[in-house]
Amino acid sequence: MKVKDILKQKGPEVFTIGEDKTLADAVKVLSANNIGVLLVLSSQGKISGIVSERDIIRTLAADPVNCLSKKVKDVMTKEVIVVEPEDDLEYVEKVMTINRCRHVPVINEKVLIGLISIGDIVKSMLKETEIENKYLKDYISGVIG
């Protein structure tokens, strides 16, 4: 299974925020959309980072008084790992595990086309396993063959 297969199911919607916005702004967008991560865009519209609930919690723990007034660009993860639609899910899962990231943008020919999470990958792999198990049970019981 490939990244593009997940995007077909979940769609291309990606929530973003400007790097000069505050963490208060980020929290509002995360909460309003029931999501855990925002891609951060520069003033030129390019991906400059990613900010997650975890980044915000760490900032809150370090500076509870000023946390929400800090700029997204001061808290975000700047090294963004990206994947491509044709990447195999097993490969992407390994990359995400090794780099300890739970979300990766999907880029096709330098254009953002979606975002997938480790949860999306796990759900997809479980679905594939369920289908395979049903096929094998049907084969063993003589329903197909």
Please give the average per-residue pLDDT across 109-129, as a whole number.
88
Residue 75: is it exposed, middle or buried by C-beta count within 10 angstroms (0-12/13-18/19+)?
buried
The two three-digit tokens of residue 22, written as one number: 């505050």
Please report which confidence band the pLDDT of residue 142 belongs to, taking 50, 70 and 90 as the band edges: confident
Q: pLDDT by residue (tens digit) across 29-55? A: 999 999 999 999 999 989 999 999 999
pTM tops 0.85, yes or no: no
Q: Which domains does the chain have, with CATH numbers?
A: 3-141 (3.10.580.10)
